[in-house]
């Protein structure tokens, strides 16, 4: 059952990702990404991380992707429909070689080195909100606080970028 | 060793006020400056110094009331530099030696303050002048009354500063400012030696200090004099370098003649009567150290004699009235050094005192002349002033006779004492005596030349200047008269034994200079020399008395001869003067007139190369060239070249960057997989 | 107020930071910004007075200690402390703070709030550096000083400000990086970032040599020691007056402070090995700085090179390895902070009026500006170490300490050479003074210049007062640092770096002494 | 079939490479940002896999951290894009070359 779920979700996630890359329309690409994220939530579930799975759907697929869509809508213009020029054909191999090399090498490495299967069953309550919260607000408190500062800075940054002087109009 | 002295230390809080009153005066005048009326400024300045003089007299009286061997008053105000075993106090001390100096400095200082009231009455910087003058008295009294060598050094630098300020007092003239700077810098060169002497002394003495003893306190040093013996020569010579700066001896005398750029009262006070004698005072103060080193004594004596001769020869040719007096001062300071060098410290100090009287008188007199001549200082355009300036003339004449050593004026006693001590000392002997004797004649000659050119004959000035010639106001003539009286009678307190006197002066100073002898017991030779000198001073045998009388008579005659020769050459037979000038093709005259080209030599040998080195080699060469150019910017250049190569990749295509990034990742993964 | 007094060091350090934040966010208008900055600086000075009056001079151990575990399970902590050495430099910093801000009243008109914020930030970083007793904390403060200074020079500086700022930044950064490597190495050795843990390490000789070199480089660049000084004249010339004053007054002392606090006690082997070479460099710096100062056409550059010379004295005193020399060096830091700080302020005064600093442009200024001339003269004299002023006490102690140093092989020769710096100092300063103030007022542009205003007097008089005060009553400082200096130098004393040889390297008859008895030793003398 | 750590790592690698390739190929800045999100997801899977492998919740915590970082990055990135679009009327990165020296 787990294996089935893994293969399904994994395949859907890769499929979603590839479709996103290939789509010319930004809106459609965003939708494919949402698709991939939901599949990723399934992968989390396979990994006994239910809390992460839920957060992946809520925060990632929900909040962040909505932000993307919102921006895409805001910048309607024809540019958003697609890219005017395709990339020159000779460049494709050059662009594709490094990722493919990475993939081949990583695959090869994984084939040669196996860490073995997972421990039979995770500890009781593993991946539950309580479990994660205990770690996050305990050992990793400082990191937690720091990330809050990162968010704060991001908020201030986004505000100041979006802020316009009163007299200035859309040019 | 002198335990009775130490135990009977008398704390005397009066001393600090002697020093601080002038500072107070300077502070008031300096801060309020133009808000005060001139009479108020004058009253504050003169009053503070006058009061200081009165206090000195009181302190002197208290000192005199003590038994001879216990004559020491101290006033420790507080601690100054205290760190670990190093302890230096802020304090003052009065012993017979500093008492004499204190009286001379405040006394003559007071008279010159009075004189300045008249001399500076029309000057814009009236208040500033008196501020500096008071500040000077403060520094000088710190020097004289300082309880330890470092306090003395404070005063030493302080007087140097005031000298700098007063020489460049009329700073409008670039030359004055340059002269002031020259004085300060040359003195600093001397201080460099002084400071090293202090260090060596401190380092030598430090391991032997007892609890609570001030390291540089004169009492401590005297107490531990035997410890100093091994390093005495080096210390004494280093300190002497300082003295050559302050007391204008070879090779650092060059600043004093230039220092005449300052107002004349300044020349009288600082560059004749007080500050320049600080070096002599310091050596007398450190007598217990100097007697430990016959070598150092020998050097001091030789330098003193050489300076006396050198300056006297230059003085014969100068045309500026103050320059003549300046070289005369250098020459007389040479005498004092000579006295110290031959171990006759009392005689040296005696000459300091009498010289303060008559040289201050001469300078003030010359100031009166310059005042009358509307600022003219060249003697070639003077002449015939004795009719219009009678007071100045007669007092000036008294000073001239005093310096020439005419019996029974002050100069006779002190100069004769030095000559005799030189003659009778091992260190001095006949060669140095011969030089000193020669200088005595030269002195009489050039002083008479000065008097004749200035006061005798017809006036050679322009009509307009001649019209303005007038005798000075009473504020200026009164000090002249007082100083003239002192120049006449001032020497009588040192009336020597061979003429039936009892030399009170030497007896008064005896406790200061005798104690060094005991400490020197280990040093053997030096002590013997001193003992020899002391024995001679106390009369010795009948034969010696006769010899002493004979030599005194000879020097008196020699001095009179110099005077009359000077009078004859410059008043009657001016052709003689011309032919002297043209002697041997005129080059000896030119060499003398140009002061042996010493300034030019220093300039060419030290200053110019120094500047060139600093500018072209150090600054432009090393700083900008090697360090910044080669090392710093060289590194920057490498970075720049690498950067410009990398710049080719900066094509602004974000996707190119992303691509390179992914290449990087691929390479990294290749590396990882190769490692296994 | 236990709330404040219990954490007094943090208050002193972070009050200026709070002021800076206010200036950057809330109080943006020019007038209020100035008053706020001045108020904060004054308040900080008042707070630091608490340190002065409650300081216990009898001990050399850190006082007012604050320590809170910070990172890595407390192996890195927020650890502040203060001994006599820190006290003196902190007082200097907080004392100069208000004066610096007051001096910018007219000089800075562009982006005032930002500028004052940077000044306050700089002050906070400097104070933190003096207080920090945890090496990571120290390093954070140390690097934090760079940023405001970079902006002060780079934004408000003269024409070549960018060049100067970048040069300053790169020079100091290069040194710091090596120090950081050293700190990290020591951290792994000691298992803690605490200074006390570092001090407790017993490092092998080879390691000490390398670490000393790494630390020393960072500090020597900051001092700056010849030949690492070339950033200084550029930085000074381009920096605005306030920047120069802070730079000369406090920032340069970071170098000598760091040597005394860290490089010397941590690596005694390194000290003994390198001290002869370093002291030679110091002496070269003294003479070289003075000679180059002599020929500068620009007043500010002249003063900058004089700093090189003066700080050469400070380094020489430290590496004389005698308590007297070290104390003298500390005294020199204070004296130099006062006199050179005042000199830069004075140069700033004339620059504001004439917009030039070329000596040849001036002449006869004493005519129109008597008060200015007088204060300039006093400051000049303080700078050349006239007895009765602060510089003399410092130079005397340093030179005497060097002269009497038992560990320095050529101590006497070095002292002799260094003493020539005293002579040269008089030459270049007085010559400059003469050319600027004396002579005729030939240049018509120099007519009608206003004398010092009340505000300028208020800035300068406190400095002048302390130049005299420290010259006459050095006990004020010396009593408070003696125990601390002995404490800091204790590791060196343990190394057996005391007496034996009476190094007579000059041709001066050596004095035979009972085995080193009574010479300066590091242990606190029992005499007093 | 038993799932091993390697399965998840392989999946993550494929997803990551997809995102990477997309980032290189696409010119639309918004899509490029989305590719970054995809790569972050791949990383998240690795975190979660190792957490499962070691039975340690630390990995989960860092996945959550990554969410926050991703959110921050998206917010700033998009804000910048909006600003760029206002000025340049385009989000085609090939036309945005002012980063070039």
C-alpha to C-alpha distance for B338 and B301, rounded to whole angstroms: 4
**Is A123 a domain residue?**
no
Residues A157, D26: C-beta atoms closer than 8 Å: no
C-alpha to C-alpha distance for B257 and B569, rounded to whole angstroms: 25
Q: B462 phi and psi, to 5 degrees?
A: -70, 160
Domain count, chain D: 1
pLDDT of residue C506: 31
Nearest in space to C130 (alpha carbons), one of C67, C87, C173:
C87
C-alpha to C-alpha distance for C512 and B364, rounded to whole angstroms: 53
Let me know how long chain B is.
Answer: 676
In chain A, residues 21-50 whose CB comes closer than 8 Å to chain D? 21, 23, 26, 29-30, 33, 36-37, 40, 43-44, 46-49
Q: What is the pLDDT of residues C179-221, one digit of tens each?
A: 999 998 888 888 888 888 888 888 888 888 999 999 999 999 8
C-alpha to C-alpha distance for C72 and C88, rounded to whole angstroms: 32
Residue A56 predicted with pLDDT over 60: yes
- From chain B, pick out residues whose CB is under 8 angstroms from the CB of D24: 655, 658-659, 662
| Of B512-516, C248-252, C519-523, highest mean pLDDT | C248-252
Helix (H) or strand (E) holding C118: helix C112-131
Residue C197: CB atoms within 10 Å: 17
Residues B191, C422: C-beta atoms closer than 8 Å: yes
C-alpha to C-alpha distance for B570 and B450, rounded to whole angstroms: 9
pLDDT of residue B577: 66
Whether A11 has its CB under 8 Å from any CB of chain B: the answer is no
DSSP state of B10: E
pLDDT of residue B625: 64
B85, B157, B614 member nearest C520 (Cβ):
B85
**Is A156 a domain residue?**
no
**B283 or B608: whose pLDDT is higher?**
B283
Cis peptide before C516 (omega within 30 of 0): no
Residue C125 predicted with pLDDT over 90: yes
pLDDT of residue C175: 83
- From chain A, pick out residues whose CB is under 8 angstroms from the CB of B656: none
B11 DSSP β-pair partners? B74
Residues A102, B663: C-beta atoms closer than 8 Å: no
Least confident of B250-264, B622-636, C255-269, D38-52: B622-636
Q: How far is A151 from chain B (nearest CA, A)?
A: 25
Q: A90 phi and psi, to 5 degrees?
A: -60, -20
**Residue A53 belongs to a domain with what CATH number?**
1.20.120.1200
Residues D17, A13: C-beta atoms closer than 8 Å: no
Q: Does D touch C (3+ CB pairs < 8 Å)? A: no
Name every residue whose Cβ is closer than 8 Å to that of residue D66 and which is 6 or more positions away in sequence.
D40, D43, D44, D47
Q: C358 exposed, middle or buried (CB, 10 Å; 0-12, 13-18, 19+)? A: exposed
Is residue A131 within 8 A of residue D57, CB to CB? The reply is yes
C-alpha to C-alpha distance for C482 and C83, rounded to whole angstroms: 10
Name every residue whose Cβ is closer than 8 Å to that of residue B436 and which is 6 or more positions away in sequence.
B305, B308, B335, B338, B418, B419, B422
pLDDT of residue A87: 53
Q: What is the mean pLDDT of chain B?
A: 79
Q: What is the DSSP string of B283-324?
A: HHHTHHHHTT-HHHHHHHHHHHHHHHHHHHHHHTT--BHHHH
Helix (H) or strand (E) holding D45: helix D29-54
Domain count, chain A: 1
C-alpha to C-alpha distance for B403 and B360, rounded to whole angstroms: 11
Report the Cα B570 to chain-centroid distance in Å. Answer: 32
Is residue B533 within 8 A of residue B344, CB to CB? The reply is yes
**Is A144 a domain residue?**
no
C-alpha to C-alpha distance for C307 and C301, rounded to whole angstroms: 10
Could you give the percent of chain B with pLDDT greater than 90? 3
State the residue range of the domain holding A72.
2-80+91-114
Residue range B89-94: mean pLDDT, rounded: 88
pLDDT of residue B169: 84
Residue pairs between chains B and C whose CB atoms are closer than 8 Å: 170
Residue B543 predicted with pLDDT over 90: no
B217 DSSP β-pair partners? B148
Q: What is the pLDDT of residues C450-508, one digit of tens each?
A: 888 888 888 899 999 999 898 888 888 888 888 888 888 888 876 655 433 333 333 33
Is residue C391 within 8 A of residue C483, CB to CB? The reply is no
pLDDT of residue B632: 67
pLDDT of residue B37: 81
**Is D59 a domain residue?**
yes
- Which 3 state secondary structure label does DSSP give C519? coil
Q: What is the pLDDT of residues B181-206, one digit of tens each?
A: 888 888 888 888 888 888 888 888 88
Q: What is the pLDDT of residues C50-98, one digit of tens each?
A: 889 988 888 888 888 888 888 777 788 888 999 889 999 999 999 999 9
B662, B670, B672 member nearest A99 (Cβ):
B662
Residue C124 predicted with pLDDT over 90: yes
pLDDT of residue B518: 39
Is residue C374 within 8 A of residue B171, CB to CB? The reply is no
Residue B438 predicted with pLDDT over 70: yes
pLDDT of residue C121: 92
pLDDT confidence of C270, banded at 50, 70, 90? confident
Strands B73-83 and B10-11: parallel
C-alpha to C-alpha distance for D32 and D18, rounded to whole angstroms: 12
pLDDT of residue A16: 92
**Is D63 a domain residue?**
yes
| Of B155-164, B604-613, C118-127, highest mean pLDDT | C118-127
pLDDT confidence of D44, banded at 50, 70, 90? very high
**A81 or C6: whose pLDDT is higher?**
C6
pLDDT of residue A125: 78
Nearest in space to B335 (alpha carbons), one of B276, B396, B400:
B276
Q: C412 phi and psi, to 5 degrees?
A: -70, -45
Residue B80 predicted with pLDDT over 80: yes
Residues B670, A98: C-beta atoms closer than 8 Å: no
**Is D11 a domain residue?**
yes
Q: How far is A22 from chain D (nearest CA, A)?
A: 8
Helix intervals (H) in B373-428: 390-404, 410-424
**Is A124 a domain residue?**
no
Residue range A89-103: mean pLDDT, rounded: 72
Residue A87: CB atoms within 10 Å: 15
Residue range B43-55: mean pLDDT, rounded: 90
**Is D100 a domain residue?**
no
pLDDT of residue C123: 93
**Is D10 a domain residue?**
yes
Residue A15: CB atoms within 10 Å: 15
Both tokens assigned to B98: 């500093």
CA dihedral C165, C166, C172, C178 (to 10 degrees): 170
Residue range C395-412: mean pLDDT, rounded: 82
Name every residue whose Cβ is closer than 8 Å to that of residue B481 and which is 6 or more positions away in sequence.
B391, B395
Residue pairs between chains B and D whose CB atoms are closer than 8 Å: 35
C-alpha to C-alpha distance for B269 and B135, rounded to whole angstroms: 13
pLDDT of residue C367: 79
B74 DSSP β-pair partners? B11, B93
**A145 or B580: whose pLDDT is higher?**
A145
Both tokens assigned to C436: 């600027």
Residue C37 predicted with pLDDT over 80: yes
**Residue D61 belongs to a domain with what CATH number?**
1.10.287.3510
pLDDT confidence of C343, banded at 50, 70, 90? very high
Is residue B125 within 8 A of residue B71, CB to CB? The reply is no
pLDDT of residue C320: 87
Both tokens assigned to C267: 């690596």
Q: C145 phi and psi, to 5 degrees?
A: -65, -30
Residue range B448-473: mean pLDDT, rounded: 77
Least confident of B356-360, B607-611, D5-9: B607-611
Least confident of B307-321, B424-438, B562-576, C145-159: B562-576
- Which 3 state secondary structure label does DSSP give B502? coil
pLDDT of residue B417: 83
pLDDT confidence of D101, banded at 50, 70, 90? very low
**Is A17 a domain residue?**
yes
Residue B629: CB atoms within 10 Å: 15
Q: What is the pLDDT of residues C406-427, one digit of tens each?
A: 777 677 888 888 888 888 888 8
Residue B315: CB atoms within 10 Å: 26
B75 DSSP β-pair partners? B92
Name every residue whose Cβ is closer than 8 Å to that of residue A95 and which is 6 or more positions away in sequence.
A87, B659, D21, D24, D25
Is residue B205 within 8 A of residue C518, CB to CB? The reply is no
State the residue range of the domain holding D65.
5-95
**Is D101 a domain residue?**
no
pLDDT confidence of B646, banded at 50, 70, 90? low
pLDDT of residue B317: 81
pLDDT of residue B423: 84
| Of A72-76, B627-631, C104-108, highest mean pLDDT | C104-108
Q: What is the pLDDT of residues A16-34, one digit of tens each?
A: 998 888 887 888 888 899 9
Nearest in space to B195 (alpha carbons), one of B153, B143, B237:
B153
Nearest in space to C89 (alpha carbons), one of C59, C128, C122:
C128
C-alpha to C-alpha distance for B61 and B75, rounded to whole angstroms: 16
pLDDT confidence of B527, banded at 50, 70, 90? very low
Is residue B162 within 8 A of residue B137, CB to CB? The reply is no
Name every residue whose Cβ is closer than 8 Å to that of residue B601 and which is 6 or more positions away in sequence.
none
**Whole-Å CA distances, B328 to B194, B264, C466:** 25, 15, 43
- ipTM of the shown complex: 0.67
Least confident of B489-493, B593-597, D40-44: B593-597
Report the Cα B106 to chain-centroid distance in Å. Answer: 16
C80 DSSP β-pair partners? C66, C132
pLDDT of residue D38: 92
Is residue B145 within 8 A of residue B19, CB to CB? The reply is yes
Could you give the percent of chain A with pLDDT greater than 70? 84
Residue B9 predicted with pLDDT over 70: no
Is residue B361 within 8 A of residue B393, CB to CB? The reply is no
- From chain B, pick out residues whose CB is under 8 angstroms from the CB of C393: 81
Q: C358 phi and psi, to 5 degrees?
A: -70, 130
Residue C129 predicted with pLDDT over 90: yes
B83, B90, B174 member nearest C439 (Cβ):
B174
**Is A52 a domain residue?**
yes
């Amino acid at each position: 059952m787990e294996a089935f779920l893994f293969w399904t979700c994994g395949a859907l996630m890769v499929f979603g990702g590839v479709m996103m890359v290939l789509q010319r329309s930004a809106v459609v690409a965003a939708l494919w990404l949402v698709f991939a994220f939901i599949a990723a939530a399934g992968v989390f579930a396979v990994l006994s991380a239910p809390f992460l799975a839920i957060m992946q759907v809520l925060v990632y697929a929900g909040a962040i992707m909505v932000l993307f869509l919102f921006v895409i809508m805001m910048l309607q213009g024809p540019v958003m429909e697609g890219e005017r020029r395709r990339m020159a054909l000779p460049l494709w191999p050059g662009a594709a070689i490094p990722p493919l090399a990475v993939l081949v090498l990583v695959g090869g490495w994984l084939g040669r080195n196996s860490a073995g299967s997972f421990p039979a069953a995770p500890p009781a309550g593993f991946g539950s909100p309580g479990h994660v919260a205990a770690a996050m607000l305990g050992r990793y408190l400082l990191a937690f606080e720091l990330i809050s500062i990162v968010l704060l800075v991001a908020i201030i940054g986004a505000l100041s970028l979006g802020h316009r002087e009163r007299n200035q109009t859309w040019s | 060793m002198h335990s009775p002295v130490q135990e009977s230390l008398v704390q005397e809080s009066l001393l600090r006020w002697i020093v601080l009153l002038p500072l107070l005066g300077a502070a008031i005048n300096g801060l309020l400056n133009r808000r005060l009326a001139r009479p108020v400024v004058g009253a504050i300045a003169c009053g503070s110094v006058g009061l200081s003089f009165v206090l000195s007299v009181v302190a002197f009286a208290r000192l005199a009331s003590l038994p001879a061997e216990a004559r020491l008053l101290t006033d420790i105000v507080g601690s100054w530099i205290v760190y670990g075993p190093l302890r230096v106090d802020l304090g003052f001390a009065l012993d017979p030696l500093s008492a004499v100096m204190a009286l001379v400095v405040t006394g003559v200082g007071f008279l010159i303050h009075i004189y300045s009231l008249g001399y500076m009455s029309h000057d814009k910087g009236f208040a500033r002048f008196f501020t500096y003058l008071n500040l000077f008295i403060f520094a000088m009294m710190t020097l004289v009354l300082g309880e330890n060598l470092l306090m003395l050094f404070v005063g030493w630098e302080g007087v140097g500063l005031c000298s700098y300020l007063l020489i460049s007092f009329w700073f409008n003239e670039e030359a004055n400012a340059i002269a002031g700077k020259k004085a300060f810098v040359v003195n600093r060169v001397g201080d460099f030696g002084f400071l090293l002497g202090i260090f060596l002394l401190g380092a030598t003495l430090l391991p032997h200090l007892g609890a609570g003893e001030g390291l540089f306190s004169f009492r401590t040093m005297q107490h531990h004099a035997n410890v100093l013996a091994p390093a005495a020569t080096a210390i004494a010579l280093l300190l002497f370098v300082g003295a050559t700066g302050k007391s204008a001896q070879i090779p650092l005398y060059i600043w004093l003649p230039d220092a005449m750029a300052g107002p004349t009262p300044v020349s009288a006070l600082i560059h004749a009567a007080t500050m320049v004698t600080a070096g002599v005072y310091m050596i007398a103060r450190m007598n217990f150290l100097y007697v430990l080193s016959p070598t150092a004594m020998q050097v001091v004596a030789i330098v003193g004699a050489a300076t006396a001769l050198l300056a006297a020869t230059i003085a014969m040719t100068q045309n500026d009235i103050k320059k003549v007096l300046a070289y005369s001062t250098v020459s007389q300071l040479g005498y004092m050094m000579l006295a110290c060098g031959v171990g006759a410290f009392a005689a040296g100090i005696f000459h300091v005192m009498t010289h303060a009287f008559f040289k201050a008188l001469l300078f003030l007199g010359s100031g009166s002349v310059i005042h009358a001549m509307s600022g003219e200082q060249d003697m070639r355009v003077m002449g015939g002033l004795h009719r219009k300036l009678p007071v100045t003339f007669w007092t000036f004449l008294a000073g001239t006779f005093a310096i020439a050593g005419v019996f029974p004026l002050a100069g006779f006693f002190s100069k004769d004492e030095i000559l005799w001590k030189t003659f009778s000392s091992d260190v001095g002997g006949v060669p140095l005596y011969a030089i000193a004797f020669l200088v005595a004649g030269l002195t009489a000659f050039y002083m008479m030349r000065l008097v004749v050119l200035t006061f005798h004959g017809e006036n050679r000035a322009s009509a307009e200047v001649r019209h303005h010639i007038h005798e000075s106001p009473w504020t200026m003539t009164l000090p002249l008269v007082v100083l003239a009286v002192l120049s006449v009678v001032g020497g009588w307190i040192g009336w020597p034994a061979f003429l039936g006197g009892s030399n009170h002066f030497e007896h008064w100073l005896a406790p200061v200079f005798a104690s060094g002898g005991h400490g020197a017991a280990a040093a053997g030779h030096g002590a013997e020399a001193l003992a020899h000198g002391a024995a001679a001073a106390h009369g010795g045998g009948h034969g010696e008395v006769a010899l002493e009388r004979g030599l005194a008579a000879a020097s008196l005659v020699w001095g009179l001869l110099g005077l009359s020769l000077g009078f004859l050459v410059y008043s009657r037979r001016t052709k003689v003067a011309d032919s002297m000038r043209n002697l041997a093709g005129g080059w000896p005259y030119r060499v003398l007139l140009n002061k042996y080209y010493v300034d030019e030599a220093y300039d060419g040998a030290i200053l110019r190369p120094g500047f060139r080195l600093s500018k072209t080699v150090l600054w432009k060469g090393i700083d900008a060239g090697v360090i910044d150019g080669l090392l710093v910017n060289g590194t920057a250049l490498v970075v720049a070249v690498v950067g410009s190569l990398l710049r080719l990749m900066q094509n602004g295509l974000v996707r190119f960057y992303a691509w390179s990034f992914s290449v990087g990742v691929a390479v990294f993964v290749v590396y990882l997989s190769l490692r296994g | 107020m236990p709330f404040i007094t219990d954490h007094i060091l943090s208050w002193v350090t972070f009050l200026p930071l709070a002021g800076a934040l206010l200036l950057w966010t809330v109080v943006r208008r020019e007038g209020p910004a100035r008053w706020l900055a001045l108020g904060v600086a004054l308040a900080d000075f008042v707070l630091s007075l608490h340190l002065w009056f409650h300081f216990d001079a009898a001990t050399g151990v850190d006082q007012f200690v604050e320590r809170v575990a910070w990172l890595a399970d407390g192996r890195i902590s927020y650890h502040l402390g203060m001994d006599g050495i820190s006290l003196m430099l902190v007082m200097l910093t907080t004392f100069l703070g208000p004066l610096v801000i007051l001096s910018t009243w007219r000089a800075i008109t562009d982006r005032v709030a930002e500028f004052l914020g940077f000044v306050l930030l700089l002050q906070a970083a400097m104070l933190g550096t003096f207080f920090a007793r945890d090496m990571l904390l120290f390093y954070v403060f140390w690097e934090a000083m760079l940023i405001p200074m970079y902006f002060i020079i780079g934004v408000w500086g003269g024409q070549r400000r960018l060049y100067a700022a970048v040069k300053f930044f790169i020079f100091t950064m290069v040194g710091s990086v090596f120090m950081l490597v050293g700190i990290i190495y020591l951290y792994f050795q000691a298992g803690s970032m605490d200074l006390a843990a570092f001090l407790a390490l017993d490092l092998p000789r080879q390691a000490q040599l390398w670490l000393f070199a790494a630390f020393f480089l960072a500090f020597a660049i900051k001092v700056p020691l010849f030949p690492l000084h070339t950033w200084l004249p550029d930085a000074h010339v381009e920096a605005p007056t306030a920047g120069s004053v802070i730079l000369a007054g406090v920032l340069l002392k970071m170098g000598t402070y760091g040597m005394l606090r860290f490089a010397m006690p941590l690596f005694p082997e390194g000290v003994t090995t390198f001290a002869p070479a370093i002291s030679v460099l110091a002496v070269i710096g003294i003479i070289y700085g003075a000679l180059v100062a002599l020929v500068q056409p620009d007043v500010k550059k002249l003063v900058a090179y004089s700093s090189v010379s003066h700080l050469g004295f400070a380094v020489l005193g430290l590496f004389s390895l005698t308590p007297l020399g070290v104390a003298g060096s500390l005294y020199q830091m204070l004296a130099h902070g006062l006199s050179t700080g005042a000199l830069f302020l004075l140069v700033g005064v004339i620059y504001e009026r004439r917009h030039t600093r070329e000596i040849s442009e001036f002449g006869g200024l004493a005519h129109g500006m008597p008060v200015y001339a007088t204060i300039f003269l006093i400051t000049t004299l303080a700078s050349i170490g006239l007895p009765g002023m602060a510089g003399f006490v410092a130079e005397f102690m340093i030179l005497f300490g060097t002269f009497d140093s038992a560990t320095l092989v050529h101590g006497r020769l070095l002292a002799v050479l260094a003493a020539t710096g005293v002579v040269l100092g008089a030459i270049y300063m007085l010559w400059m003074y003469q050319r600027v103030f004396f002579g005729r007022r030939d240049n018509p542009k120099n007519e009608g210049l206003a004398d010092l205003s009340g505000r300028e007097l208020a800035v300068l008089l406190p400095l002048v007062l302390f130049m005299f005060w420290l010259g006459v009553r050095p006990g004020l400082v010396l009593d408070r640092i003696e125990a601390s200096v002995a404490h800091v130098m204790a590791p060196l004393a343990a190394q057996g770096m005391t007496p034996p040889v009476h190094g007579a390297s000059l041709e001066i008859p050596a004095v035979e002494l009972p085995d080193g008895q009574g010479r300066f030793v590091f242990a606190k003398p029992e005499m007093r | 079939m038993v799932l091993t750590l390697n399965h998840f790592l392989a999946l993550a690698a494929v997803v990551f490479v997809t995102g990477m390739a997309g980032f290189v190929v696409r010119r639309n800045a918004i899509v490029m940002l989305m590719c970054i999100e995809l790569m972050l997801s791949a990383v998240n899977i690795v975190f979660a896999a190792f957490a499962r492998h070691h039975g340690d919740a630390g990995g989960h915590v860092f996945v959550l951290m990554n969410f926050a970082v991703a959110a921050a990055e998206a917010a700033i990135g998009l804000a910048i894009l909006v600003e760029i679009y206002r000025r340049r009327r385009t989000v085609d990165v090939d036309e945005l070359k002012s980063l070039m020296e």
